[in-house]
Amino acid sequence: MEASSATDLEVSGSRGAVMVRRWDPEGDPGHVVLLAHGYGEHSGRYEHVASRLTADGAVVYAPDHYGHGRSDGERAVVDSIEDMAGDLAAVEALAREAHPSVPFVLIGHSLGGLISTRFVQTRESELAALVLSGPVVAGNPKILPLMEMDPIPEVPIDPASLSRDPAVGEAYAADPLIFHGPFARKTLEEIGAAIQRVAEGPGLGALPTLWIHGELDSLAPYGVTLEAMGHLRGEATEEKVYPGAMHEIFNETNSDEVLDDVSAFLARILRRGAG
């Protein structure tokens, strides 16, 4: 199933213009999904995810974080997760103005999972559900220590670490909107500081949350993420680990299974909220 063509929107963000893709369902939406992408990439890579979500009746709002994709800002420099969460709040406000009476769901992948976690920890947004996909809420012992080196080695993300499907890595390497360079020191420092803020912040409490993760994720390793989720996990948190899967579980060889699980979770939570 193909998504309808995305509508391009723009909001004023912390570093200038934030570009937003919106995918619409057929008919009036039953709920809104805010979608936060990962480090170095852009929201256009989630068209197949939007296809499934819109088929389920959602309207999807997916911003390019500042410094990413078509948004303003220095390329792939993440110097404030809090500002990125604030930009996401600006997108939420735009969507709530257009859809004032439907439930809102937040889906965050990788760095977007860290942004989404801070979004939830630092504001009173009335979300119906949260989905965290391979969230960077714990330190990667092979990446964060790079900030201690001078100069920082040029260690970009390896496209082969994303999925068992080689076509995913090939498309990633050829995508001009993706940042293919090394990590900036500011980025590593801020991700490390934000992970600490997550650890010091509140848990997810009663917010219905689905945490999904690839067993062989090397970018957000499952083991250290599991420790961090021990603090975050609330009474309404569910989780599923996919054996053999790598980091981009929405782009994995079993992506249909992953999308089925997300769809079923949201349908159950939204049905409960409507009852």
d(CA 237, CA 212): 11
d(CA 249, CA 213): 7
| H or E element in which residue 21 lies | strand 16-23
- Could you tell me whether strands 16-23 and 58-63 are parallel, antiparallel, or unpaired per DSSP bridges? antiparallel
- 65: Cβ contacts below 8 Å, ≥ 6 apart: 18, 36, 37, 71, 78, 84, 87, 111, 112, 115
| H or E element in which residue 222 lies | helix 222-232
Catalytic residue among 31, 37, 68, 247: 247
Q: Fill in the amino acid letter for 49.
A: V
56 is catalytic: no
Catalytic residue among 64, 79, 83, 217: 217
CB-CB contact of 245 with 217 (8 Å):
yes
247 is catalytic: yes
Q: Mapping DSSP to helix (H, G, I), strand (E, B) and coil, where does residue 45 land?
A: helix
Spatial CA neighbour of 201 closest among 123, 143, 125, 144: 123
Q: Which residue has 């009663």 as its token pair?
A: 206
Catalytic residue among 43, 71, 110, 133: 110
110 is catalytic: yes
Could you tell me the CA-to-CA distances from 209 to 63, 82, 187, 240 in Å, in that order?
Answer: 21, 21, 27, 11
d(CA 236, CA 210): 9
Active site residues: 110, 217, 247
